[in-house]
Chain A
Amino acid sequence: MTVPDLNRTTALTLRVGIVIGMVLMLGGLCWYIADGTDTLIYIGLLVMIVSPFLGVIASFAVLILEKDWRWAAVAAVLFVVTAIGIVISIE
């Protein structure tokens, strides 16, 4: 099995996340202007906000596949630290 390229995979994940988020938000904006429903904008905004984190997850996955343990550990630590940060700020 060929290991996917780190840069290409991370960039692709970010692109998928932001494009889906943008399409949902723009579609949602039209829907909002038509009859005042903002559900689709809400979902699109969430997808877009989460997309940088999806990029981190994608790079983590590639680094594991590359068996690049040192850098995979770095991504894993970032994962944990971000989670702790979110939990603390929500409280």
Chain B
Amino acid sequence: MELAIIMIGLVVLGLCSGIFGALFGLGGGVIFVPILLLSGIAATATQAVAMSLVGIIAGSVGASTVLIAKGLSNVRLGLLLEITTCIGAIIGAIIATYLESWMLTVLFSAIMIYSGFRMIVNPERTVEPATGEDSPMTFRYKDESVGEDVRYEVQNVRSGMGICTFAGAISSMTGVGGGAIKVPLMNIHMHIPMKAASSTSSFMIGVTAFSGAITYFFAGVFTDSAVSPLLTGAGLDSLLPCAACLAFGAFCGSLAGARLARRIPSSHLRKYFSVVLFVMAVLVLLQTGGVI
């Protein structure tokens, strides 16, 4: 009985974060990690992070199968920005040991609040390519909410790549915020339409989460029999069944979220995203303050 409740709970958690993540291009680590720890499913922070990465991958890949096929995600740009994000993550993992974690989370929250304000105050500015000819940084996608092709030229590529290094470092140090920094960066700084930005981020977070998850996988986190008392009580001796339920939920949720993302107007998406940023900033600050 207890086992069934845990499993259904994990599927539901996955479903909610999958819908949410696919819509906004966020992973959902900021929700997964505290819930897994507070509910007693994860015995340690490492277990919570490892499980969260599994949910993020399932959601990202599920959403990407739809968003890439429909041309909303910009695969080329995703690959490019992922390079510096990954380098940043490596740097972050190395310097994390020298910094106090509360400094990072405060910085992280400040960035999110700033990005949220910019997204409310400034209207979206995408750059129409001046001439009819395409530059290597000109891309297009079909916006199904208005039924039109949108053509955009990516701006500030170099500084955008630089900021992605920073975003990668912050998220590997704090464990959250891959998407929360990258989506506003792409939208505000690189002038990428909101829909393309969140869809590209959906694809990228899967690649980022992969390198983390594979390390935990081979370190034996999922097969370790030292699970929380809650899981032992339910008769489980590893995290594997829980990871499977979470992944299944996130996968189904992301398919629904991606469907929604295709239809919703870009301006609404942008408005909701800024609200999400404020809520995330508050959540992260509360976690740092030890309230939750």
Contact = CB atoms under 8 A, between A and B. Distances in A.
Interface stretch (B86-94, B123-131, B184-192): B86-94
Nearest to A26: B248
B165 to A, nearest CB: 11
Contact of A89 (B60, B68, B93, B223): B93
B245 interface: yes
Contacts of B222: 42, 45
Chain A interface, DSSP helix/strand/loop, else mixed: helix
A45 B211 contact: no
B127 to A, nearest CB: 20
B135 to A, nearest CB: 12
Interface residues of B, number: 49
Nearest to A58: B75
A21 B206 CA distance: 15
By CB atoms of chain B within 10 A, which of A49, A70, A85, A89 has the most? A49
B140 to A, nearest CB: 12
Interface string A11-31: 110110110011001101100
A44 B222 CA distance: 12
B2 to A, nearest CB: 14
B167 to A, nearest CB: 15
Interface in B246-273: 247-248, 251
Contacts of B247: 21-22, 25, 45, 48
Contacts of B61: 14, 17-18, 48, 51-52, 55
B136 interface: yes
Interface residues of A, number: 46
Given A7-B71, A56-B207, A85-B90, A49 B54 contact: yes
A26 B240 CA distance: 11
29 contacts: A6-B76, A10-B64, A11-B66, A14-B61, A17-B61, A18-B251, A22-B248, A29-B245, A32-B241, A41-B241, A44-B244, A46-B217, A48-B57, A49-B54, A49-B210, A49-B213, A50-B210, A51-B206, A52-B57, A52-B64, A52-B210, A53-B207, A53-B210, A55-B64, A59-B79, A78-B207, A81-B87, A84-B90, A88-B90
Given A7-B69, A78-B207, A82-B86, 20 more contacts: A8-B69, A10-B68, A22-B58, A25-B244, A26-B244, A32-B240, A38-B238, A38-B241, A45-B217, A45-B247, A48-B54, A48-B247, A52-B60, A71-B79, A71-B80, A74-B80, A78-B86, A81-B86, A85-B90, A89-B93
